[in-house]
Chain A
């Protein structure tokens, strides 16, 4: 069974601070996706990374896929209240008919 552990589980920070969320597994994935879920809504895809060592930037968000394709990180610079939500990583294996979702990191950014 493939598992994706995210850390930290909860994070409460003030506006303007930086943070990093980690997604780790003992399994190799062909791709890694990050989603953000706001209260009362479904998850929304933020990014997909497919190459070991790949780094993608989306405004203040930086995503990295580990060299061995077993882990990933999400770094947010100068967090804003609009970044509040549940962040989920998900691993794909190319041939399987499903994604494996991580345990989630709940982020709260206050003024």
Chain B
């Protein structure tokens, strides 16, 4: 496979569930990102990882917990979410963390919290 792959594509979870989103990149990039995309809002940056080290946590609630075991894989662990957390969650990668690098995005996970 090439590019950035996200699984699952769709997820419905209750507020008491625990689930994880997975992202894998096959581009040899050193930086990976989690973004949240809600209706009528700009893309919101959640987390930034550079070479498996978290370099930015954009004031995200603790019910979202990222994990980056290596430079190719990124996870977002979810627990006790709220209905307002329903959104499209996008993973992206780039060659480095400089803001000038273009991002390669995955297709996203459409999350619905019920």
In the complex formed, the residue of A with least CB distance to B101 is A92
Establish whether residues A92 and B42, one from each chain, have CB atoms under 8 Å apart when the complex forms.
no
Given B6, B55, B92, B105, which contacts A97 in the complex, CB threshold below 8 Å?
B55
Q: How far is the CB of B38 from chain A (nearest CB, A)?
A: 12
Query: CB distance B97 to A97 under 8 Å?
Result: yes
Query: Total contacts A to B, CB within 8 angstroms?
Result: 71
Which of A12-20, A43-51, A60-68, A72-80 is found at the contact surface with chain B? A43-51
Chain B CB within 10 Å, residue with most, of A41, A48, A94 = A41
69-114 of chain B: CB within 8 A of chain A = 90, 92, 97-108, 110
Contact status B99-A42, CB under 8 Å: no
Do A96 and B42 contact each other (CB < 8 Å), given the known contacts A42-B90, A42-B107?
no
Q: Is A25 an interface residue (CB 8 A)?
A: no
Interface residues, chain A, with chain B CB atoms under 8 Å away:
4, 30-31, 33, 35, 40-45, 48, 50, 88, 90-104
Q: Which of B's residues lie within 8 Å of A, judged by CB?
A: 4, 6, 31, 33, 42-43, 45, 48, 50, 55-56, 90, 92, 97-108, 110
